[in-house]
Amino acid sequence: MKQEIAFIQSEELKVKPKADSLGFGKYYSDYMFVMDYHSEKGWYEPRITPYEQLILDPAAMVFHYGQAIFEGLKAYKTADGTIQLFRPEKNMKRFNESCDRLCIPQIDENFLLKAIKELILIEKDWIPEGDGTSLYIRPFIFATEPYLGVRPSHQYKLLVILSPVGAYYGDQLSPVKIYVEEQYVRAVIGGVGHVKTAGNYAASMKAQEVAEAKGFAQILWLDAKENKYVEEVGSMNIFFKIKGEVVTPKLNGSILSGVTRDSVIQLLKHWNIPVREEKISIEEVFAAHERGDLEEVFGSGTAAVISPVGELNWNDRSIEINHQKIGQLSQRVYDEITGIQLGKKEDPFNWIIKVAQV
């Protein structure tokens, strides 16, 4: 795609929120990237405009047949003023995989990454400085054609919005209580669980609500076919450290292929810590605990990076992991990845893409 990205200047800029009140996904920057699609034109009119309300027909297909996908990544400002991204090409690639699964026309990955960089440069003052903070980048596409027949839409909108965020779970890593879900399922092989569709998240809320009412922070999803094998935790991938070895569920078509998941695996290999991607049953996890071999459990995702699990509840049985304290490895992985992201640690994997020096 060789189109120029138009720029429409905002007449007035917002007051930026304080770094200690950011939370997650509450504030949006002054500008956004927008691009439209029509089946007769392809993707057209890429532009950076003021962050503004969208105008949509009530019959726009997104409201009815749910073609909506997204990505999530972050921009960081290092101590020396470098603005950088963490493996954004992985997000671009997965974005297209989500497109394909939901019959949404694919995008030019390089072009979108270029657009994101331009947007971030304009919004560089929105990247917060402070531990655990970053500028969250949310690219998303949804169907806009006003039509009520069931088929892929002929019109779409792609946007990228930016939100300055604090650490997802607050200042410190703190282990959470997890409920192993047996009634509801998140996804099944042959479905859409391996890509980032809006509908996946809507479908997951009920189980989360039930678990919260029982006093748990998140749910651990089991596979839909046998209700036996571990899939994900909340909206994160999951890792178990059992007797010095790390195991994470193998990508099987219903598990999301997380960028942080992949980074954790590479990191562990780099450290010569044994790590295996394989089918792991919840029964094996509990048996490992019984033997005293279950040392650490943690989730991985872009929003929280690493989220330690302190307790697992399955079938009315509760097990405590590492005395509800952060495991050494969980902390080490967290420090390393956030260290690389913030330019405090070396980047032997070439994960970092530098956008600019400010």
Where do contacts with its own copies occur on this chain (CB under 8 A)?
A: 23-26, 28, 32, 51-60, 62-68, 70, 100-103, 136, 138, 140, 142, 146-152, 159, 161, 163, 183-185, 187-192, 197-206, 208-209, 224-225, 227, 234-235
**How far is Cα of residue 137 from the mean position of the Cα atoms in its chain?**
10
CB 169 within 8 A of CB 304: yes
| One-letter identity of residue 329 | L
Residue 203 has φ and ψ, to the nearest 5°, of -70, -20
Angle in degrees, 0-180, between the axes of helices 259-270 and 88-101, rounded to the nearest 10: 140
Least distance in angstroms from the C-beta of 149 to its own copies: 5
Nearest to 123 by CA among 78, 131, 71, 115: 115
Nearer of residues 102 and 288 to its own copies, judged by Cβ: 102
> What burial class does residue 85 get, using C-beta atoms within 10 Å of its C-beta: 0-12 exposed, 13-18 middle, 19+ buried?
buried
Nearer of residues 59 and 287 to its own copies, judged by Cβ: 59
Alpha carbon separation from 340 to 10, 78, 109, 304, 346 (Å, rounded): 34, 10, 24, 15, 6
Nearer of residues 6 and 54 to its own copies, judged by Cβ: 54
Least distance in angstroms from the C-beta of 81 to its own copies: 27
Least distance in angstroms from the C-beta of 308 to its own copies: 19
Nearer of residues 67 and 96 to its own copies, judged by Cβ: 67
Least distance in angstroms from the C-beta of 269 to its own copies: 30
Least distance in angstroms from the C-beta of 34 to its own copies: 9
Least distance in angstroms from the C-beta of 62 to its own copies: 7
Dihedral in degrees, nearest 10, Cα atoms 331, 336, 338, 341? -170
Least distance in angstroms from the C-beta of 74 to its own copies: 12
Within 13 Å and on the Cβ side, how many CA atoms surround 22? 28
Within 13 Å and on the Cβ side, how many CA atoms surround 248? 24
Residue 301 has φ and ψ, to the nearest 5°, of -170, 165
Nearer of residues 184 and 286 to its own copies, judged by Cβ: 184
Helices (H), 169-258: 198-213
Q: Rounded to an integer, what distance in angstroms lies between the CA atom of residue 3 and that of residue 236? A: 36
| One-letter identity of residue 279 | K
Least distance in angstroms from the C-beta of 57 to its own copies: 6
CB 141 within 8 A of CB 180: no
Nearer of residues 17 and 152 to its own copies, judged by Cβ: 152
Nearest to 286 by CA among 256, 316, 265: 316
Nearer of residues 103 and 356 to its own copies, judged by Cβ: 103
Least distance in angstroms from the C-beta of 44 to its own copies: 19
Nearest to 121 by CA among 162, 90, 80, 67: 162
Nearer of residues 241 and 261 to its own copies, judged by Cβ: 261
Nearer of residues 6 and 189 to its own copies, judged by Cβ: 189
